[in-house]
Copies of this chain bind each other. A is one copy, B any other.
Amino acid sequence: MTTTDRPHSTQRGAETRAALVAAATSLFAARGFDGTSVRDIARLAGANLGAITYHFGSKRGLYEAVLQHGLTPLVEGVGAAAKAAGKPMERLESVVDVFFDHLSRTPELPYLLLQEVAAGKPPPDQVLAILRRNMTNLRGIIAEGWEDGSIRPGHPMLTAVSIACQPVYMTVMAPVLKAIGGIDLQNPATRREVSDHVKTFVRAGLAPSQESHS
């Protein structure tokens, strides 16, 4: 048998697994799935060529492990912000912060996800489930804001997307922002400026309409 799935994985192979995921994350993000060879991954991870097949079954298996490993902490951060105390608008702003913070640490993440989405029409269930969780968290905060009148009514999911798209898009376009506008998201001060802009924009975009009542 060819160990297509992970073996018991309780031994010291865990180090190799982690090294492979780390190496694959940066290489896949930088060069895309097809643009990255398993030989490059193994070399960067200091592992043997056969280690990828052994631990992940295939190159594709490693890719899915990379996706899950990268997406989970971000979504958990958003979930924590969603469940925290405070007014809905404040929690939405902290969601924006969570996005920028996390994406600044792992800017490769959106690339990995976008590759996945752009490739075939339906992303794998694994990724869909994670995104669904994220969407549900955001919609929960928004619905709460409807109830107390602090957020203007609107399409729940589209509103969530309008918020989340900004940190993600700006992170993806960071090289362009830098080249065209001199905006360097790597710089913490600049990143705070960008994050503040997005929060202001979101706050204004969600505020109850101007000409209405109390």
Residues of A within 8 A of B (CB): 29-35, 111, 114-115, 117-123, 128, 131-132, 135, 152, 154-155, 157-159, 161-162, 165-166, 168-170, 172-173, 175-177, 179-181, 183, 193-194, 197-198, 200-202, 204-207, 209-210
- Interface class of chain A by DSSP: helix
Check B115 against A162 for contact (C-beta < 8 Å).
no
Question: In the complex, which of the residues B29, B32, B161, B166 contacts A162, with contact meaning CB atoms closer than 8 Å?
Answer: B166
Chain B residue numbers with a CB within 8 Å of A115 are 32, 115, 118
Task: Write the nearest CB–CB distance from A19 to chain B, whole angstroms.
Answer: 23
CA distance A205 to B162 in the complex (A): 11
A172 to B165, CA, bound (A): 11
With contact pairs A114-B172, A205-B204 given, residues A181 and B135 touching in the complex (Cβ less than 8 Å): yes
Q: Given A166-B162, A181-B135, do A175 and B122 touch, yes or no (CB 8 Å)? A: yes
Contact among B118, B183, B198 with A32 in the assembled complex (CB-CB below 8 Å):
B118
Write the nearest CB–CB distance from A24 to chain B, whole angstroms: 15
Would you call A32 and B30 a contact (CB within 8 A)?
Answer: no
Contact between A180 and B122, CB atoms less than 8 A apart: no
Q: Are B173 and A161 in touch, CB under 8 angstroms? A: yes
| Beyond A122-B179, A157-B180, 5 extra complex contacts between A and B, CB < 8 Å | A33-B35, A117-B173, A157-B181, A158-B197, A205-B205
Within the complex, what minimum Cβ distance (angstroms) separates A201 from chain B?
Answer: 5
Contact between B135 and A180, CB atoms less than 8 A apart: yes
Q: Which residues of B contact A179 (CB under 8 A)?
A: 122-123, 128
Q: How far is the CA of A198 from the CA of B77 in the complex (A)?
A: 26
Q: Which residues of B contact A210 (CB under 8 A)?
A: 207, 210
Give bound CA distance, A201 to B155, whole Å: 11
Query: What is the bound-complex CA distance between A172 and B173, given in angstroms?
Result: 14
- Decide: B175 and A169 in contact? CB cutoff 8 A: no
A153 to chain B, nearest CB (A): 11
Beta-carbon contact of B181 and A170 below 8 Å: no
